[in-house]
Amino acid sequence: MGDTPKPAADRRPRALIVVDRGLAELRRGGVVGIRGPEGRVALTLAAEMATADSLAELSRLSGSSPVLAVTGRRVAALTGRDYAADAVHTLAVPDNGDDLWIRRLIDPTLGAVALDGAVAVLAEPPKSLAASSIQLAKLARLLPAMLIAWAPPAELDEMRRWARSQSLLLIERDDIAAYSGLAARRQTKVSEARVPLADAENARIVAFRPLDGGGEHLAIVVGSPDSTQPVLVRLHSQCFTGDLLGSLRCDCGDQLRGAIRQIADAGSGIVLYLAQEGRDIGLVNKLRAYELQDRGFDTFDANEALGFEADERVFLPAAEMLRQLGIRKVRLLTNNPRKVEALAEAGVQVVDRVAHVFPSNGHSAAYLQAKRDRAGHLL
């Protein structure tokens, strides 16, 4: 008798499981430990979730006062000076820096806050634990700002025992770095069904889920695409407000329905519906960005004022979905040259870019202009 195959859960990389647990803990307002290869452990707390009690707990665990880690984008917004956009910086939290002070510093929708010139702003190395903590915050769809304090030095076994005694989750820095790539490559088809659509009656929806149990991406397959030929494909990042509610602030709903119609008219093709709300900053942060846009920011400046990059998306999940669907060559329905480059870098051959343009309305004109001027979107 042959060996019994192990359940799929046993083959999941540890990084996916542990990091996913850490994201849930941060979203609950808990403290998470990040351990570097040299053995040092940073105790981290999502800044927007901080309360008087959780700040006290962070200080109790570490025996010291925390620092605040933010992105170069957020420091630039606070100071009006240029900082390395891709760098993470740490700021000392003053003695009177309570949870309200912290939230006002990291969230520009709560009102203008000037950073005291006496506060030291220190740039962190690219692979620092502070940088890893910011990556965790982004994965959790929280504002990219983290409170950090250092755990008492200890050998690994002793540190693990201490963490267990404090009900504290420890995550390896390298697991955080590997998470996004692993999640993209380890997603799998979990279900599919025929779903006749108003503009494409011969359609089915295929659901993909990463093996950490995270959010699903969907493929809307119209007709029967011939995988031996370039397939007409649209990468569409989900937009709750535009796709579902018909928001006039963006052209997302028009793009989604227009892509389905165009693919149906062509006979076959695929829309990949990606769980990347707000260029992958999440719905809550997208609403914050909308509030800033109402104050005069454009769509990219608003994301950056919140501490994010103008576009946080990666398209490895899209490439993996196409691979599992047997698609190697595509005609990409897009105006965004970055999508063409990203798919090509992920091993998908883009043989043609098909224009995908819709007229603006009184609410979306500035948004569409910013995409053309700032992101190089084509007509």
Which residue, 315, 318, 316, 296, is CA-closest to 305?
296
Residue 67: pLDDT band with limits 50, 70, 90: very high
pLDDT at residue 130 in the model: 96
16 and 45 co-located in one domain: yes
Q: What is the pTM of this model?
A: 0.91
Residue 225 lies in a domain: yes
Tens of pLDDT, residues 271-300: 999 999 999 999 999 999 999 999 999 999
Of 153, 180, 207, the domain-final residue:
180
313 catalytic per annotation: yes
Residue 285 lies in a domain: no
Q: How many contiguous H segments (helices) and E segments (strands) does the chain have?
A: 14, 14
Q: What is the pLDDT of residue 117?
A: 65
Q: What is the CATH number of the domain that holds 95?
A: 3.90.870.10
Give the residue, 366 or 349, on which the prediction is more confident: 349
Provide the pLDDT confidence category of residue 111 given band limits of 50, 70 and 90: confident
User: Residue 96's pLDDT band (boundaries 50, 70, 90)?
Assistant: confident
Say yes or no: 255 and 206 in one domain: yes
Are the beta carbons of 111 and 11 closer than 8 angstroms? no
d(CA 260, CA 40): 51
Report residue 157's pLDDT band, with 50, 70 and 90 as the boundaries. Answer: very high
Distances (CA, A) of 315 to 108, 181, 262, 354: 29, 10, 22, 18
**CA-to-CA distance for 289 and 378, rounded, in angstroms?**
24
- Of 176, 178, 185, 153, whose CA–CA distance to 26 is shortest? 176
Which one of 35, 186, 288, 313 is the catalytic residue? 313
Same-domain check for residues 113 and 260: no
Confirm whether 91 is domain-assigned. Answer: yes
Residue 8: per-residue pLDDT: 43
- Looking at residues 51-70, what average pLDDT do you find? 94
Domain membership of residue 87 as a residue range: 8-180
CA dist 203 → 25, 152, 186, 244, 318 (Å): 38, 57, 25, 19, 19
Does 170 lie in the same domain as 204?
no
- What is the mean pLDDT of the segment spanning 210-217? 81
Q: Which residues pair with 329 in a beta bridge?
A: 349
What is the mean predicted confidence (pLDDT) over 33-55? 96
Q: Inform me whether the pLDDT recorded for 235 exceeds 70.
A: yes
Which pLDDT score, from 0 to 100, does residue 211 have? 77
Beta carbons within 8 Å of 273's beta carbon, 6+ residues apart: 217, 218, 219, 220, 236, 238, 256
What lies within 8 Å, CB to CB, of 117 at 6+ separation is none
Residues 193 and 224 grouped into a single domain: yes
Domain-embedded: residue 355 = yes
Whole-number percent of the chain with pLDDT over 90: 74
Specify whether 141 is located in the same domain as 157: yes
Q: Helix, strand or coil for residue 69?
A: strand
pLDDT at 231 over 80: yes
Distance separating the N- and C-terminal Cα atoms of the chain = 62
Q: Which of 108-117, 255-264, 367-376 has the lowest mean pLDDT?
A: 108-117
Among the ranges 14-23, 65-74, 89-98, which has the highest mean pLDDT value? 65-74
Residue 281 lies in a domain: no
Q: Tell me which of 196 and 180 has the higher pLDDT.
A: 196
If pLDDT is split at 50, 70 and 90, which confidence band does 10 have? Answer: very low
Task: Tell me: do 158 and 109 sit in the same domain.
Answer: yes
- pLDDT at 232 > cutoff 60: yes
Same-domain pairing of 196 and 324: yes
Residue 136 in contact with residue 23, Cβ under 8 Å? yes
Between β-strands 188-194 and 145-150, what pairing exists: parallel, antiparallel or unpaired? unpaired
pLDDT for the residue numbered 6: 42
**Res 12: pLDDT:** 56
Q: Are residues 57 and 102 in the same domain?
A: yes
Average pLDDT over residues 51-56: 95
Which is catalytic among the residues 35, 311, 328, 373?
311
- Which of the listed residues 121, 147, 180 is the one where a domain comes to its end? 180
Give the length of the chain. Answer: 379
Residue 305 lies in a domain: no
Q: How many domains does the chain have?
A: 2
**75 and 55, same structural domain?**
yes
Section 143-163 average pLDDT: 94
pLDDT of residue 126: 87
Highest mean predicted confidence (pLDDT) among 12-26, 136-150, 181-195: 136-150
Q: Determine the Cα–Cα distance for residues 176 and 136; give it in Å rounded to an integer.
A: 7
Of 124, 150, 180, the domain-final residue: 180
**Is residue 322, in this structure, part of any structural domain at all?**
yes
* Residue 144 and residue 12 share a domain: yes
Residue 322 has pLDDT above 90, yes or no: yes
What per-residue confidence (pLDDT) applies to 197?
Answer: 97
Give alpha helix (H) positions in the chain.
14-27, 52-62, 72-79, 99-106, 129-139, 156-165, 173-185, 252-266, 277-280, 283-293, 299-305, 316-324, 337-345, 365-375
pLDDT surpassing 60 at residue 9: no
CB-based contacts of 137, cutoff 8 Å, min separation 6: 26, 46, 47, 143, 144, 145, 146
Interatomic CA distance for residues 300 and 292, integer angstroms = 11
Where do we find the tokens 């400046």? 301
Q: What does pLDDT average to over the chain? A: 91
Q: Is residue 348 assigned to a domain?
A: yes
In sequence order, what DSSP letters do the residues of 283-340 get, joined into one string? HHHHHHHHHHHTTT--HHHHHHHTTS-S-----HHHHHHHHHTT--EEEEE-S-HHHH
Closest CA to 278 of 305, 316, 252: 252
Query: What is the band of 7 on the pLDDT scale with cuts at 50, 70, 90?
Result: very low
Q: Please report the pLDDT score of residue 116 as a whole number.
A: 67
The three-class DSSP label of residue 371 is: helix
Pair 258, 204 in one domain: yes
Domain with 207 in it: what CATH number?
A: 3.40.50.10990
